[in-house]
Amino acid sequence: MTELYIDADACPVKEEAERVATRHKVQMHLVSNGGLRPSRNPFVSVVVVPDGPDVADMWIADRAGKGDVVVTSDMPLAARCVENGAQVLRHDGSVLDARNIGQQLAMRDLMSDLRAADPFRQGGGRAFSKADRSNFLNALENTLRKAKG
């Protein structure tokens, strides 16, 4: 049975994901180190993991597999989930899969190296837009349909 895993720390599309999961009657897991309110929605479970580096990511990666959908912008987590057979979306609706995850990991490493080499380097990416939110909703709808299919 398809399940939806949300890397919930700093996720801007939790409410949208809940609406889509509920419409499809898919169990959704909001995974974080804390700070999330419990949900009354029977399709939503809030999973609070202990503090520590990548604990939420490990929880998701240990469970998500073939037929599941993961929402994250964390590239190492996305790579593990893709390897396990899960379908992975970013918050903007872009798909992460076997064809592009290697390039995304390389870009992440390059940007990390550039920031380390120039501590005054500014910028954290572009702002999350209404178009990103709309793209996410469409992508999640289509991805859950395929996953359940």
Domain range summary for the chain, segments of one domain joined by +: 3-148
Q: Which CATH architecture has domain 3-148?
A: 3-Layer(aba) Sandwich (3.40)
Report pLDDT for 50. 94
Cα distance between residue 62 and residue 98, in whole Å: 18
Report pLDDT for 99. 87
Report pLDDT for 111. 63
Q: Exposure pattern of 6-28 as b/e (b: 16+ CB <10 Å)?
A: bbbbebebbebbbebbeebebeb
Q: Which amino acid is at 66?
A: K
Other CB atoms within 10 Å distance of the CB of residue 68: 23
What pTM value is reported for the model?
0.86
pLDDT(113) > 80: no
Query: 122: pLDDT confidence band, cut at 50, 70 and 90?
Result: low
